[in-house]
A = this chain, B = another copy of it.
Amino acid sequence: MADLTLMHELAIPGTSKMVMLILDGLGGLPMYFGGGTELETARTPHLDALAGGSTCGLMESIGAGITPGSGPAHVSLFGYDPLQFQIGRGVLEALGIDFHLGPNDLAARGNFATVDEAGLITDRRAGRIPTETCVALCDRLRSIKLPGAEVFVEPVKEHRFVLVLRAEGLDQAISETDPQKLGHAPLPAHALNPQAERAAALVNEFVTQARKLLQDQHPANALLLRGFAKHPALPTMNETYGIRPAAIATYPMYKGLARLVGMDLLQTGDAIEDQFTCLEQHWADYDFFFIHIKHTDSRGEDGNFDAKVAVIERVDRQIPRLMRLNPDVVTVTGDHSTPAVLAGHSWHPLPFLLYSHYCRPDRLEAFGEFQCGRYGSLGTLTAVNVLPLMMANALRLTKFGA
């Protein structure tokens, strides 16, 4: 539905517990004709048993043929319309380093870059300078003062940093300074509408001052800015669904996305096993848990089929720990597909299972793309419907109308 007003009206308090287990990039493809996907190849006895007692289907994050980034894919999973609530790259990058964005913050993703004596770009990533250099350069850029605006420059990793300008009324509609080509000079920022002129002027003033501070810092003697964006005004999951949600995530971007919808971030070790230990430790404290497993996606992005299979098997071994907690509702899926054969995100719908005490089991023989597609009674469902379905199965939505 993604009708937040309706969800707010129907949500009722309760003590039932929900777990959303996201294996990032779970969906896959066979490596050869007739082969299985990563999930189908993995030995997953516990997920298979769970799927047998679950309602299943294939899940589309956004829509037919759309390959989602992590931002919109998670926004959908959290029950918000990803086209209505768009999250710019600058914001995602800021979330990724745990920068707490406020409503007056305009964020951009920055790259340190190399320019030649004519000012033309020779390396858009400044030879991937070490992170320590990036930290030192960001420190240097913090001396920049802009009229009427606060400036934050935060290192990310290697050549990447985040720029945040804080001032009332800054509009995000400004063009990027990165020409995305070698042999060109960095571009000035242009206001794409009249309201954005102040923001564009501030960005250009920042760039002018930065150029002076960087000119002797070869190879990081220039910078490029992309993805100017403000924080979207998402209502929290507590406001919308009346739940107390917590996130068990290890990567900053997913923590940031969880914070954006008002989840508490739980302290967890990085290993998959640690994440389930964290779940056990906090089981009494929340009624909704978002567990984010990163490495299925990373290994898919690497094009490493076997390594992705191994991550899935490692998650499978934790399923008994999850089920021993006797959760009322469990969903297992991903945010998008990352088939190793494509070494990147894809548009393919994802295997999806929903287990609850009140689900109608589709009696799948295994958890996998083919079985979910052939036997899943949910058919192709949309990610924004996942949270309403979980809420219903948790007996946490009252009747609509009389």
Contacts and interface: CB of A to CB of B under 8 A. Distances in A.
B83 A3 contact: yes
A370 interface: yes
Interface residues of A, number: 64
Contact of A341 (B53, B358, B377): B358
A234 interface: no
Q: So how many copies of this chain end up in the complex?
A: 2
Interface string A28-42: 011001000100000
B402 A373 contact: no
Interface in A1-57: 1, 3, 6, 10, 29-30, 33, 37, 53
Contacts of A58: 377
Contact of A377 (B360, B374, B392, B398): B374
A69 interface: yes
Contacts of A62: 400
Contacts of A64: 1, 381, 385, 388-389, 392
A152 to B, nearest CB: 20
Contacts of A345: 399
Nearest to A375: B374
A268 B385 CA distance: 41
Contacts of A385: 63-65
Nearest to A74: B401
A391 to B, nearest CB: 6
A246 B216 CA distance: 56
Interface in A326-348: 339, 341-342, 345-348
A87 B281 CA distance: 46
Contact of A399 (B1, B69, B358): B69
Nearest to A64: B385
Question: DSSP majority for the A interface?
Answer: loop
A82 interface: yes
B400 A66 contact: yes
A51 to B, nearest CB: 14
Most buried by B among A10, A33, A370, A399: A399
A349 B362 CA distance: 13
Contact of A400 (B37, B69, B370): B69
A369 B392 CA distance: 18
Given A3-B83, A392-B67, A358 B377 contact: no
Contacts of A400: 62, 66-69, 72, 82
A379 B92 CA distance: 34
Contact of A389 (B65, B73, B82, B390): B65
A389 B73 CA distance: 18
Nearest to A109: B402
Contact of A66 (B1, B92, B373, B393): B1
Contact of A1 (B30, B53, B65, B71): B65
A373 B401 contact: no
B373 A360 contact: yes
A370 to B, nearest CB: 7
Interface in A344-390: 345-349, 358, 360, 362-363, 369-370, 373-375, 377-381, 385, 388-390
Given A6-B66, A89-B402, A347-B393, 11 more contacts: A37-B360, A63-B385, A68-B401, A69-B399, A71-B402, A73-B401, A346-B392, A348-B360, A362-B374, A370-B377, A374-B375
24 contacts: A1-B65, A1-B66, A6-B83, A33-B53, A64-B389, A64-B392, A65-B385, A65-B391, A65-B392, A67-B392, A67-B397, A67-B399, A68-B400, A71-B401, A82-B400, A341-B358, A342-B358, A345-B399, A346-B392, A347-B389, A347-B393, A348-B358, A370-B377, A378-B380
